[in-house]
Amino acid sequence: MFSKRTDWKLEENAYTRALRRHRQNGRSVLDLTASNPTVCNFQYDEAAILSALRSKEALEYDPEPKGLPSARAAVIEYYRHMDPTARLDPERLILTTGTSEAYSFLFRLLCEPGDEIAIAQPSYPLFDFLATIQDVKLRPFRLVYDHGWQIDFHGLQKAIGARTRAILLVHPNNPTGNFIGADEAEELQAICREHNLALVVDEVFLDYKIRGANSRRKRHGSFVSVNHALTFVLSGLSKIAALPQMKVGWIAASGPDELVRDAMARLEIISDTYLSLSAPLQHALPALLGQRGKMQRQLIDRIEVNLAELDEQLARQNLVSRLEIEGGWYAVLRVPAVQSDEELSIRLLEEHSVLVQPGHFYEFADEGYLVVSSLTPADQFAEGIRRLLACVAGK
């Protein structure tokens, strides 16, 4: 009765089974995967957020497929603040219900059923589902860790086939935390032009740069006003303003004028078909974006405190190390690959009540990687890392 695309294996894997058992037994857990900022002890400006949602104008329904002009102006202002020289145009912007919807619009815009998107791995696990639901196939290419993360361009060229329509990257990436380098950005655009591909860049973590991070290459800034290839930047309130529950995202298009114009006309019709972003949220968007500075400062402080604690604990042993990170909300730990990452994660949960994510969730090429969230409340993070190191050391 059902479509093949929804033929998902719905059985629990060993890790989710272990977590369910742990919770059913009423055992507490030190959750080092906590990355929902609304429950990580941050101080939100409640009054500003709630009053933004009470706008009287929201009583009127006056839909605009790209998003209300006042809401789009606020997003343009966000980018102008980042780069006053950027070439920005509200007509090249379309608001969506979160970035996930933005992906579905783009996949619909670019792909026939069975077409492919080349995607960097390791990366955000939801891409698999977002693509399958839209009948799109992912063609992975690797990010390699060699003196920091970098794109394997040889692998990328091999991943591009006759049905490839776009290259997709996260900037900075989840969970590896690397930004696309300025030199890599040039090469990506050249490849897109050569093969007639769009470039899709997910910038939800762009504002979370780790101060003093060891970076070997010049980083590219936002891709919001590039010239050479048709480019779609995705972002939204979920990370920028630490408000995932608001479900406000956007697509900003740039590149050769004619292509952008054509893309926007088509996207506008896709959006007009659903008109899914609610009026109260669009009216609230300027105020919700306006409080991002306060939130970002708190999150970056937390991330830096946790990374300093992690480094201090790592310096006292030599079995576990962390990979370099330039930005984002996660840290990747290199652990001895003497068992699968899943086995180690289950052991950490069952024997030490610590929850981490095994690297294979993110399609790391090998075993030996665990991912932890650096948004975890600091005392919980410190104790969790202590137990993790003890577990790996066999204590």
Ligand X SMILES: Cc1ncc(COP(=O)(O)O)c(C=O)c1O
Q: Kindly tell me which residue out of 65, 155, 221, 244 binds ligand X, with binding defined by CB under 6 A.
A: 244
- Per CB under 6 A, the segment of 43-51, 93-101, 114-122, 288-296 that binds ligand X is 93-101
The answer to whether 30 and 353 are in contact (CB under 8 A) is yes
The answer to whether 328 and 315 are in contact (CB under 8 A) is no
Phi, psi of 369 (to 5 degrees): -130, 135
Instruction: Give dist(CA 191, CA 170) in Å, integer.
Output: 17
Q: Which of residues 115-144 bind ligand X (CB under 6 A)?
A: 124
- Could you give the angle at which helices 98-110 and 257-274 cross, rounded to 10 degrees? 120
Q: Which is nearer to ligand X, 30 or 200 (CB)?
A: 200
Helix (H, G, I), strand (E, B) or coil at 167: strand
β-strand 164-170 against 149-151: which pairing, if any? unpaired
Q: Kindly tell me which residue out of 30, 138, 159, 170 binds ligand X, with binding defined by CB under 6 A.
A: 170
Where would I find the H helices in the chain? 14-24, 46-52, 69-82, 98-110, 127-133, 153-159, 182-195, 237-240, 257-274, 279-290, 292-315, 341-352, 378-392
Q: Which is nearer to ligand X, 170 or 188 (CB)?
A: 170
Query: In the complex, what is the shortest distance from the CB of residue 236 to ligand X, in angstroms, rounded to a whole number?
Result: 4
Instruction: Give dist(CA 191, CA 20) in Å, integer.
Output: 45
Q: Which is nearer to ligand X, 249 or 384 (CB)?
A: 249
Q: Which is nearer to ligand X, 248 or 389 (CB)?
A: 248
Q: Kindly tell me which residue out of 136, 197, 204, 242 binds ligand X, with binding defined by CB under 6 A.
A: 204
Q: Which is nearer to ligand X, 157 or 245 (CB)?
A: 245
Query: In the complex, what is the shortest distance from the CB of residue 95 to ligand X, in angstroms, rounded to a whole number?
Result: 11
Q: Kindly tell me which residue out of 37, 148, 249, 359 binds ligand X, with binding defined by CB under 6 A.
A: 249
Residues present in the chain in total? 395
Contact string (CB under 6 A) for ligand X, positions 94-113, x = contact: ----xxx-------------
CA 45 vs CA 41, 234, 249, 292: distances in Å: 13, 25, 21, 10
Q: Is the dihedral of CA 207, 208, 213, 216 positive or negative?
A: negative
Q: Is the dihedral of CA 285, 106, 36, 331 positive or negative?
A: negative
Q: Which is nearer to ligand X, 204 or 289 (CB)?
A: 204
Q: Which is nearer to ligand X, 37 or 384 (CB)?
A: 37
**149 contributes a contact to ligand X by CB under 6 A:** no
**362 contributes a contact to ligand X by CB under 6 A:** no
Query: In the complex, what is the shortest distance from the CB of residue 178 to ligand X, in angstroms, rounded to a whole number?
Result: 13
Residues that bind ligand X (CB under 6 A): 98-100, 124, 170, 174, 202, 204, 236, 238, 244, 249
